[in-house]
Each structure stands twice: as structure tokens, then as C-alpha cells.
Amino acid sequence: MENNSLRINQRIELEIEGVGSAGEGIGRLSGRAVFVPRTLPKERVLAKVVHTGSKKIVAEPLKILEPSPDRRDPICPVFGRCGGCQLMHADYPAQLELKKAILQDALSSIAGIRLESIPVAGAQEPLYYRNRGQYPVARARGKVVTGFFAPRTHDVVAVSRCRIHDPQVDRAVACVRFWAGRKKIPVYDERRHRGFLRHVVVRAGGEVLVVLVGRQDRKLPLGDLLRRLRQEVPNLAGLVLNINPARTNVILGGRNRVLWGRDFVEEMFMSLKLKLSVGSFFQVNTAQARVLFDKVRGFLGRPQGPVVDAYCGVGVLATLLFKEGHQTVGIDSAAPAIADAKTIASTNRVSTCDFQKGRTEKLLPRLISRGLKPRAVILDPPRKGCALEVIEAVAESRAEKIAYISCHPGTLSRDLKRFIELGYQLDAVEGVDMFPQTSHLEVMAGLVRG
């Protein structure tokens, strides 16, 4: 069959041969790749064509004709409609192998790095692990619903119980959902930019922080909500209103008002007492964050000079390293994160740990040009990876070691290639499954100066 004869809604049979970067199965039709989500290698499937383009053909699976022995029944009733998980149809050991294959393919095709074996640390608890949830709010058939956006849309798929979130998150969200419906709280309509309640954000651990994201500041009937929250979420530390008046996809606005309790949670992590506020970044899988940080500490070795922790978030890793004798400098562009980092350092009696606010691509080159000579640099950039200015500044500093943390194999591979071209050698690549049931994998790549 010729590709140009394919029609939308046409049915095709395919043998799935590989896995794509988003966890979808890949088959071939007349030599061209066909991407079929929710399928596994070595499966034969009946699928319906939903997109034909010059670079990509996408088909939706209709029937698994010959299932893989790695296939399992997803435990979530909205799997496939909600955009949160991509690999729940595979048993957990197979998920780890698929993620490893995605990483190996990116390293090979983008950076020319071919690794036969990459260790991946699986999670002991592959369900109910996320310590933070961000739920959009909508109305459907006259009822208030909370859930997640369907893939490539802003249509909310109602979810009452998410299998990858800490159960405390869903209990808190359910309380808000019931209250909003009963009190007729206006739900935000993003198309018309009207209404009030946009998202519910919950951070859960030893304590729980609940954040209502509203379009404007307003007085709210909180009595029933607080009673229900304190009954259903005994570890409730605070209820906060975050005001976000902008017409934007960004979830949180820049202003908070405490409605009850406080605007942060406290918890113990490794040897540190943490304070985490509304907008601060911290790894969503606490147990696997310990594994990841131990790998970075092991790669850096004993203290032998300054360490820069770029994109440091709330400074947990920098503070841990400082307590072990490293001279650390943390950099982050988010003012709340730097404020929390300084508080965490002070609380843990390492107040001389240096944290600076600024964009890494601006601040790091400036610090290095003024004489900072780090022995090692930790890079944990957003999914888009490091700006070229960051890579060039690190290379110019002649840092002996680079620990690069990434959850995006594509941008990781691109940046590793750049570092290798600037004189570094790849010493280690290790995966830590921070996000079970999804196609994402956290990776620690260690580079040494050649």
C-alpha cells in the first residue's frame, strides 16, 4: 500500500517493532514509520489512521490482535483519554526497558553515543508516588469536575482518583470539588476569560498544602471547605489562594493570600528539614529523589573545590553537599525557590551556603568571568536543556566534573554532544525512574574533563 493512498479513518494492520520518544509503539507501512500509542513492541495491532503528514503517520489502536507478554490491563479507567500516563499498559519491568530504549535511541541518533547497557533504578513503589498534583477545574454537564487535560487539548478529563498521586492529593482535591459545586463557586472559562476557580494545586508529604488558583482575589465561603479538609486531610498545614489574573497557560500567578494555616509545608528529606512553599520546585517523587541525589553525590566524590548547582530549585542538593564539606553555590531564576533555599540552609545550620537569584545563562557566565573556578558543576535544566551560553561558560571554567540531570533524552543528548565537542568525556549514564507509568525517565550523566 502506498502512503499517499492512506486516508483518515482508514484501518491498517501493523507489527509494532519499536518505541517512540513519547512511549508510543512504532510500526512500518511501505517503509514509513507509523506511531501507535498504547501499543508495545512485538504486538500485531489493528489501528485507525488519524493523522497523515510528510514526516509522521499516527494511528489509534482499535484491537490488539497479538498481544505482547509484557502487556497488562491498565488500572486507571481513563488511561488513554487522560494525558498523564503513557505506559500503564506495560508491566513495570517492561516499562523500564522501554525507557532505556528511548534513552539509547536519543543518545545514538542525536549525539552519536552508543551504549549497550544503561543501568536504570526502578521505583519500589510505582504507584501513588507523586507528592504534588495540579488539577484544572471545569464544568461538565452542570457539575464541577477536576482532572487532567486530554492529550494535545485543553479539554478536562474528569479524574476522581489518580493512581500515581499520593492519595492525600486526591482527598484534598475531592474536598475542593465538592465545596465548589455546593457553594456554586464560578469555574474559570479560559475561552472567555471569565469565572474564578482555575486550578487546585496540592503538595503532600508529612504535611499537606492546598492551593486554590483563582482569577482574582475575592472573599470565599470557607467554613464548609475547611471543616471537610481538616476531616479528610488530617495533616493539612495550610489553605492558600493564589491569584492568577492573566490569560495564560501558566498555572500559578505571582501573588498568594493565606486563607488558613500557612503557605508552606515542612518535612524531613534525607538529613535535611525542608520548607516548601507554594511555587517552589522539588522533585515529585521523594523516594526516587533520594536515589538520584545519592548518584550525584557518588559521582562528585570527596570535597575538593567549589561546586555550582545550577537550576538549583529549593537548594536541597546544594545544601546536602555543603553539609558534607563541599563549597557550594546555588543558582535559580525563581525568587520563591531561592528564598526557600536560604531558609532551608539556615534551618539546617549551613547559612553560609551561597544561593543567588538569576537566570543561569546570564549569572553563571558572569560569576565565572569574575573569577569563580568550580571544580564541579551540577546542571538540572528545564526540559528545553541548557542554553549555549551555559555550556560555553562551564567549558571555559575548566570544571573537572559535570553532573547533568535531565528528564528529556533529546535535549540531554544534544547538550552532551556539545560538551564532548568542547573537550569533555562521558564517564557515566544512569537512569532513575522518577515517573513510573509515564514515558519519562530522569537521567544523571557524568562528564569529566578530557
Location of each CATH 2.40.50.140 domain in the chain: 1-70
Residue 280: the pLDDT is 83
Residue 54: the pLDDT is 79
Location of each CATH 3.40.50.150 domain in the chain: 282-449
Average confidence (pLDDT) over 57-81: 96
Location of each CATH 2.40.50.1070 domain in the chain: 132-269
3-class secondary-structure state, position 300: helix
Average confidence (pLDDT) over 380-393: 95
- pLDDT of 442 above 70: yes
Residues pairing with 276 in the sheet = 265
Residue 1: the pLDDT is 47
Residue 4: the pLDDT is 56
- pLDDT of 106 above 70: yes
| Matching CATH number, 282-449, of 3.90.79.10, 3.40.50.150, 2.40.110.10, 3.50.90.10 | 3.40.50.150
Residue 153: the pLDDT is 87
Average confidence (pLDDT) over 40-55: 94
Average confidence (pLDDT) over 332-349: 92
Catalytic, 312? Answer no
Which CATH code fits 1-70? 2.40.50.140
Average confidence (pLDDT) over 423-434: 97
List, as own/partner pairs, every contact residues 353-359 make where C-beta atoms lie below 8 angstroms and the sequence separation is at least 24, other chains included: 353/315, 353/318, 353/319, 353/322, 353/328, 354/328, 354/329, 354/330, 355/312, 355/315, 355/318, 355/329, 355/330, 355/331, 356/329, 356/330, 356/331, 357/332, 357/333, 358/331, 358/333, 359/333
Which CATH code fits 132-269? 2.40.50.1070
Active-site residue, from 76, 162, 386, 407:
407
Mean per-residue pLDDT of the chain? 95
Average confidence (pLDDT) over 408-415: 97
- pTM value is 0.93
d(CA 59, CA 27): 10
pLDDT band of 259, cuts 50, 70, 90: very high
pLDDT band of 2, cuts 50, 70, 90: very low
Helix, strand and coil content of the chain, in percent to the nearest 5, comes to 25, 35, 40
Residue 6: the pLDDT is 83
Query: Which residue would you say has higher pLDDT here, 450 or 365?
Result: 365
Cβ neighbourhood burial of 177 (10 Å; 0-12, 13-18, 19+) = buried
pLDDT band of 152, cuts 50, 70, 90: confident
Average confidence (pLDDT) over 91-105: 98
